[in-house]
């Protein structure tokens, strides 16, 4: 009897440990899975020993505090990337992540006068911080750093756009590319209709005319396969509300994203139409209304997951991973389903064009993707020196290779002609253990927690002549040429989705410009927040109404509510704000 109790207790303990370990490997790189916990600590101590000598000459155990708007992890950088940085500079990176700690940390840190040693912020926040004196002027020293100077043009253009700037340099834009501001060099775009190839083929690859045609196809898919292999119900649409109002766009994030299928793009409260004019979100002829109507029709035909309004992002992810969703629209969403095996047996998601659509995409981020690196105004000279060296390395081919490609011998091998071949391609997805010599621990645990780059992954690596991103390597394309891809190419007569769009004139490329946009005044911030809440509340209800009359009545109620909350002021503000940007873009037309 007693023995039983003891075993039960032990089992319970083990279960708790296991569950804790499960959490740990995702959120905190420090606590990797329980299995290799011992090796991790070993690695840590041997690391420290190895770098002691290096530290004496370089960083002296210095710690960079990085205020990082892009990070999903808060705390010290660990694992292989920590070793890479420590071997070269003898510094440790302490990541402060508002996405983890909450946006209030921005307010508290800003009011203390020291945001961080290195700051990475969205452009509007950045220009505010420059104004309030939180960012250091680096113009005197930038010339000494060759890798940063490669982006001199972009850095200058960005900094000249800062209000009242007289030649100072504060910020370094992120994800810059070396192509041109109006070209698009990727194979897929951020948002387009993605369907399961096997289900589509089963229906005989019908041509899809418009959104109703798309619903017909999805309806038939659902009729044919109402559940996944595990017997859970499948729906073409599974939405989530977590990101509503994000990225500076009012309204339901999912709806907002679909408006790009008709060449339109939200800028705050305004919709930018393909002809270069603005119209308010509340315009019944614009795409926001159209897409809401589309989702409502889908709901009435029973194609929308009934949990859509109340589930969170994690539940939505779980459903995507379990194959319970038949339509995807973000390019990265396929990552939850498309594995090498599924690409080979043809059950993966791929772009299927809808005839009347015209896809919007942002051009290559020649001038940067919107976030900006800067140096905190409070750092002392020694540290400042070190930070600039670090940022220069961060923008160098060697740094970019570590950031985008990984470790030589672990993530890639060098071919005879100098190009690379990817190995261990599941390293990130499965958090593969990294050998001791590279820093140990899991690959994902030790991955670069800064999570934002100065050089875009689609830039050309001068050492190989190919992009940093492995998906565009010759070796990778050969390896991933599948039966499914061949069938797709045959049907649509193009090698890749973007090639098809360009051929058929279905791609609206919005040129990349470096304009620093006005930040909201206190009044506009309040109005924006309240209007966003109103738009989201009513939009969600509109998706789930049962007839047209209620749909339109709800829409009218929404516009009335918005009117009373100062929507007009917001529209005026956003129009002025984004017209500046639009004018700059039109120069490339």
Positions that interact with other proteins (CB under 8 A)? 102-104, 106-107, 110-111, 115, 125, 128-129, 131-132, 134, 232-233, 241, 244, 305-307, 309-311, 519-523, 525-526, 528-530, 532-533, 536-537, 539-541, 544, 560-561, 563-565
Report the nearest approach of other proteins to the CB of residue 574 (Å). Answer: 14
Strand spans (E) along 344-492: 349-351, 359-362, 371-375, 412-414, 420-422, 460-461, 466-467
Closer residue to other proteins in complex, CB, 23/560: 560
Helix axes 548-564, 522-543, angle to 10 degrees: 170
Closest of 510, 586, 511, 518 to residue 161, by C-alpha = 518
Report the nearest approach of other proteins to the CB of residue 526 (Å). Answer: 4
d(CA 412, CA 406): 7
Report the nearest approach of other proteins to the CB of residue 520 (Å). Answer: 8
Closer residue to other proteins in complex, CB, 312/408: 312
Closer residue to other proteins in complex, CB, 103/275: 103
CB neighbours of 521 closer than 8 A, spacing ≥ 6? Answer: none
Closer residue to other proteins in complex, CB, 316/334: 316
Closer residue to other proteins in complex, CB, 12/526: 526
Q: How many angstroms separate the Cα of 283 from the Cα of each of 12, 238, 286, 582?
A: 58, 26, 5, 20
Phi-psi region of 315 (alpha: psi -120 to 50; beta: other; left: phi over 0): alpha
Closer residue to other proteins in complex, CB, 219/537: 537
Closer residue to other proteins in complex, CB, 486/568: 568
Structure tokens belonging to residue 376: 């905190």
Tell me phi and psi for residue 396, to 5 degrees.
-85, 160
b/e map 409-422, b = 16+ CB within 10 Å: ebbbeeeeeebbeb
Closer residue to other proteins in complex, CB, 53/521: 521
The alpha helices in 225-300, defined as continuous H runs, are 253-258, 287-300
Report the nearest approach of other proteins to the CB of residue 567 (Å). Answer: 10
Report the nearest approach of other proteins to the CB of residue 160 (Å). Answer: 22
The secondary element (H helix, E strand) that includes residue 68 is: strand 62-68
Report the nearest approach of other proteins to the CB of residue 310 (Å). Answer: 5
Report the nearest approach of other proteins to the CB of residue 128 (Å). Answer: 6
Report the nearest approach of other proteins to the CB of residue 27 (Å). Answer: 16
């Amino acid at each position: 009897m007693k023995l039983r109790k003891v075993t039960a207790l032990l089992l319970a303990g083990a279960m708790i440990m296991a569950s804790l370990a499960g959490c740990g490997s995702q959120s905190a790189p420090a606590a990797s899975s329980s299995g290799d916990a011992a090796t991790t600590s070993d690695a840590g101590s041997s690391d420290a020993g190895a770098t002691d000598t290096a530290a004496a000459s370089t960083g002296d155990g210095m710690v960079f505090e990085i205020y990082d708007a892009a990070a999903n992890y808060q705390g010290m950088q660990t694992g292989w990337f920590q070793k890479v940085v420590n071997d070269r500079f003898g510094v440790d990176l302490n990541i402060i992540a508002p996405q983890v700690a909450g946006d209030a940390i921005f307010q508290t840190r800003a009011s203390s006068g020291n945001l961080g040693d290195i700051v990475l912020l969205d452009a509007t926040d950045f220009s505010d911080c420059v104004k309030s004196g939180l960012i250091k002027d680096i113009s005197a020293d930038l010339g000494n750093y060759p890798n940063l100077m490669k982006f001199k043009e972009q850095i200058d253009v960005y900094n000249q756009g800062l209000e009242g700037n007289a030649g100072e340099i504060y910020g370094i834009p992120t994800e810059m590319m070396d192509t041109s501001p109006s070209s698009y060099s990727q194979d897929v775009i951020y948002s387009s209709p993605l369907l399961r190839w096997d289900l589509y083929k089963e229906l005989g690859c019908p041509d899809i005319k418009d959104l109703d045609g798309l619903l017909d196809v999805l309806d038939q898919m659902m009729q044919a396969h109402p559940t996944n292999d595990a017997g859970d119900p499948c729906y073409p649409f599974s939405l989530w509300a977590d990101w509503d109002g994000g990225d500076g766009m009012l309204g339901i994030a999912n709806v907002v994203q679909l408006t790009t299928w008709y060449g339109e793009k939200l800028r705050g409260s305004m919709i930018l139409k393909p002809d270069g004019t603005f119209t308010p979100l509340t315009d019944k002829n614009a795409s926001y209304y159209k897409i809401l109507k589309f989702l409502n029709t889908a709901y009435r035909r029973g194609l929308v997951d009934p949990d859509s309004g109340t589930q969170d992002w994690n539940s939505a992810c779980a459903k995507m991973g379990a194959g319970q969703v038949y339509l995807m629209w973000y390019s990265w969403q396929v990552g939850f389903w498309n594995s090498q095996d599924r690409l080979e047996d043809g059950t993966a998601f791929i772009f299927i064009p809808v005839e009347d659509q015209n896809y919007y995409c942002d051009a290559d981020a020649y001038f940067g993707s919107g976030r900006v690196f800067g140096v905190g105004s409070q750092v002392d000279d020694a540290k400042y020196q070190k930070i600039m060296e670090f940022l220069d390395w961060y923008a160098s081919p060697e740094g970019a290779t570590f950031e985008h490609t990984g470790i030589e011998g672990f993530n890639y091998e060098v071919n005879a002609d100098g190009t690379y071949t990817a190995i261990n391609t599941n390293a990130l997805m499965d958090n593969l253990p990294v050998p001791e010599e590279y820093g140990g621990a899991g690959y994902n645990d030790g991955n670069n927690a800064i999570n934002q780059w100065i050089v875009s992954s689609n830039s050309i690596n001068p050492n190989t002549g190919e992009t940093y991103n492995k998906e565009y390597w010759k070796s990778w394309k050969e390896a991933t040429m599948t039966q499914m891809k061949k069938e797709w190419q045959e049907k649509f007569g193009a090698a890749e989705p973007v090639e098809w769009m360009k051929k058929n004139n279905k791609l609206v490329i919005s040129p990349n410009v470096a304009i620093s946009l006005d930040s909201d005044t206190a009044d506009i911030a309040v109005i924006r927040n309240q209007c966003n809440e109103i738009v989201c509340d009513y939009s969600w209800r509109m998706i789930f109404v049962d007839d047209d009359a209620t749909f339109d009545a709800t829409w009218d109620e929404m516009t009335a509510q918005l009117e009373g909350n100062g929507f007009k002021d917001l529209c005026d503000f956003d129009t002025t704000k984004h017209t500046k940007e639009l004018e700059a873009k039109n120069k490339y037309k």
